[in-house]
Amino acid sequence: MKLSCTQENLSKALSIVSRSVGTRATLPVLSNILMQTDKGRLKLSATDLEIGIHTWLGAKVDADGAITVPARLLTDFVSNNSDKNINVELKESSLHLESDRFKANIKGIEASEFPLIPEVAKMHELEIKGADLAKAISKTIIATALDETRPVLAGVYFYTKGYELKMVATDSYRLAEVGVKLLNKASKEISFIVPQRTTAELSRLITEKTENIKLFTGENQVEFQIGETIIVSRLIEGVFPEYEQIIPKTSKTKLDLPRAEFLNAIKMASIFAKESDNSIKLKVEDKKVEVVAVSPHMGDNVSAVSGKVEGENVTIAFNAKFVMDMLQVIESSEVIVELSGNAAAGLMYGEKDANYLYVIMPLRVEE
């Protein structure tokens, strides 16, 4: 292998694939990045056996070849290299890198030892705008379970209905659902669960320049094509809960609140709620709304929030972080809160976020 490429392009490509490198790899080669020539370009690949990423970059290829080299060492050398171009040459089992002012030899492992990243069977194909998918991920990933005691909750549930893709996540304490328009009609209704980490990596790779993303599903895998980059991931096996039944259909109290003001009040209350498991109270009385937090040792805090109030008085307790998570990802300037008493789930959504809803379970209110 002998080639040359720009430092900028190589550094960007390494940053794309390096996140899927195995950090606690039992196999030494999983800590490496596979570099190989491919039809006049340079292809980089990395995997931790859960997620695999390929990306391609332009290069002047003089000789074909392949080698795996330690990801951290290669990335550090390239990112700290301020020269414009880098020449790369494989000499036996070492990768020789040279630019105007810097030279390095990095010992590698044969490409044949790198685990094959399986190709997805591509039974179904979907296409979606990159910006739409990025927003949908940010609105749902917040509700995924952090532990894997129930694996199906540790991911985002995708399912199709005609030209719409629904994405849902729940950790059993809250639930987020968003609908996204597809650019093509699904050949049939399909559903699958994508691991939380995969959706996070996908979101990281979507930029303002990303146009459309193609999504392919196989029997137990999913593939996302983002420009010159491909992410392949396993799917979570199991059946996602029948979540529709927990979405409130009616309410006794409806609030229309300025998002920024409400978020600021929740943030203020959370300062005082740290000693009480992040519990804050939303108090609705006489057409007024207050956010209340009480700390046994630090004191208490009350924040008034302006807005429209319809229906009954109620005092309900929520986890402050769960409320903040939702308020930080919606795009609307106004947020709607629908309540049906202090023991029933609350429904929240942005006034202009028509395809997004957020259900949050209440905490026990101490009288």
How would DSSP label each residue in 40-73? TEEEEEEE-SSEEEEEEEE-EEEE--EEEEEHHH
CA 345 vs. chain centroid, Å, equals 25
Average pLDDT, the chain: 94
Rg for the chain, CA atoms, rounded: 25
Band of the pLDDT at 25, cuts 50, 70, 90? Answer: low
Measured in degrees and rounded to the nearest 5, phi and psi for residue 366 equal -85, 125
pLDDT band (50, 70, 90) for residue 274? confident
Lookup result for tokens 């006489």 = 286
Assign 297 a pLDDT band (cuts: 50, 70, 90).
confident
Mean pLDDT of 73-88: 97
Q: Is the pLDDT of residue 276 over 90?
A: no
Q: How far apart are CA 304 and CA 132, in angstroms?
A: 34
CA pair distance 263, 285, nearest whole angstrom = 20
Helix (H) or strand (E) holding 325: helix 320-327
Q: Is the pLDDT of residue 367 over 60?
A: no
Least confident of 72-76, 119-123, 181-185, 242-246: 119-123
How far apart are the C-alpha atoms of 322 and 169, rounded to whole Å? 13
What local confidence, expressed as pLDDT, does residue 149 receive? 87
Average pLDDT for residues 206-230, to the nearest whole number? Answer: 94
Q: Are 69 and 106 in contact (CB under 8 A)?
A: yes
pLDDT of residue 103: 96
In this predicted structure, what is the pLDDT of residue 282? 97
- Do 360 and 346 touch, CB atoms closer than 8 A? yes
Task: Classify residue 222 by burial, with Cβ atoms within 10 Å: 0-12, 13-18, 19+.
Answer: buried
Average pLDDT of the residues in 251-258? 97
Whether pLDDT at 200 is above 80: yes
DSSP structural state of residue 256 = E
Tokens of 115: 């685990």
Sketch out the chain's domains with CATH numbers.
2-113 (3.10.150.10), 124-243 (3.10.150.10), 247-360 (3.10.150.10)
pTM of the model: 0.93
How much is the pLDDT for 265?
97
Is the model more confident about 274 or about 346?
346
Model pLDDT for residues 116-150, shown as the tens digit of each residue: 998 898 889 999 999 999 999 999 999 999 988 89
pLDDT at residue 364, as a whole number: 85
Round to whole Å and give the CA distance between 39 and 133. Answer: 30
Model pLDDT, residue 24 = 72
Q: Please tell me the predicted confidence (pLDDT) of residue 219.
A: 86
Mind listing the pLDDT tens digit for each residue in 314-329? 999 999 999 999 999 9
What span, in angstroms and rounded, lies between the C-alpha atoms of 363 and 31? 44
- 308/289 Cα distance (integer angstroms): 9
Mean pLDDT, range 169-174, rounded to an integer? 97
Find out whether 145 and 153 touch, Cβ atoms under 8 Å: yes
